[in-house]
Amino acid sequence: MTEFKHITVLLDEAIENLAVQPTGTYVDATLGGGGHSKLLASELTTGKLWSFDQDQTAIDYNQEHLKNEIETNKVSLIQNNFRNLTTALNEVGVQSIDGIVYDLGVSSPQFDDGQRGFSYNYDAPLDMRMNQKQTLNARTVVNEWSFNDLMRILSRYGEEKFAKRIARAIERARMEQPIETTFELVDIIKSAIPMGARRTGGHPAKKSFQAIRIAVNDELGAVEESLQQALDMLNVNGRIAVITFHSLEDRLVKTMFKEKTQLPDLPSGLPVIPDEMQPDFKLVNRKPIYANEHELEENRRAHSAKLRIIERIR
């Protein structure tokens, strides 16, 4: 089995909060190294788990890692984008689910494989695709997207203060010759950030790389579409657990969950709220769940992780 070193974040907390019914139908939307899938499957008797990943490497690894669970038909792997949740599940005869877990973002192997172009620490062709068959990659975004689109993604998805300067520097550099590698891009980004600011707030390319990665994989669009489908497919008492790693993802999940669990605007002075106006969902925890101290010591990625859970109540 090829090595796939990913330490699962909020493993027990996410699965515990799904309140798994041993005979239920579950989905792991983000299989990765299979940590959540393995634990969830161990709680099933006659239940079934469908595990999604769009990355071939994750699917290949788990054919071995989850071999027993696959052979006993407790788990099946689906190589697909989780934005196609409903269609992919309908194709295998599943119309409704009792729970789903999302552990968003990239896995450590994706980040640490120098050749995939996710990291500013390794020199590699500009790529950043989670799905190796997708056509849009970071090279296209950096070399072909307009100045305005670059500025928009850097500012919106990277929350980069120097978005305009960086977009301008990219535009200037690519007029000379195409930008091909991560290190070329890092140098361009560095050159656009004022000297004083380069020394604060982590690696100067961190925010821009996050922004380009989110754009290449349309990460926020996929989460929004998928969550809506998951909410629609959820059985009563079923739960959705989502682990996010940055404020944009978390805000999206928080807002969607809030909309689903709130009462609609009602005329003031209604003595009783009519039953059909009650929300169909409730928040399992008002505040997000964070990693405990022990996990924070063991795993750097856990520091930015937040877990939110919603339950269908009717």
Ligand X SMILES: C[S@@+](CC[C@H](N)C(=O)[O-])C[C@H]1O[C@@H](n2cnc3c(N)ncnc32)[C@H](O)[C@@H]1O
Residues in contact with ligand X by CB under 6 A are 6, 8, 30, 32-36, 52-55, 58, 81-83, 103, 105-107, 130, 222
Whose Cβ is closer to ligand X: residue 118's or residue 162's?
A: 118
Q: Which residues contact 288 (CB under 8 A, 6 or more apart)?
A: 250, 254, 306, 307, 308
Instruction: At 271, give phi and psi (nearest 5°).
Output: -70, -40
What is the CA 248 to chain-centroid distance, rounded?
11
Whose Cβ is closer to ligand X: residue 193's or residue 233's?
A: 233
| Minimum CB distance to ligand X, residue 155 (Å) | 22
- Cβ(101)–Cβ(29) under 8 Å? yes
| Minimum CB distance to ligand X, residue 250 (Å) | 14
* Helices 163-176/182-192 angle, 10° precision: 130
| Residue ranges at the known binding site for S-adenosyl-L-methionine | 34-36, 53, 82, 103, 110
Whose Cβ is closer to ligand X: residue 36's or residue 260's?
A: 36
C-alpha 108/C-alpha 4 separation (Å) is 8
| Minimum CB distance to ligand X, residue 93 (Å) | 20
| Minimum CB distance to ligand X, residue 137 (Å) | 15
C-alpha 247/C-alpha 304 separation (Å) is 9
Whose Cβ is closer to ligand X: residue 162's or residue 245's?
A: 245
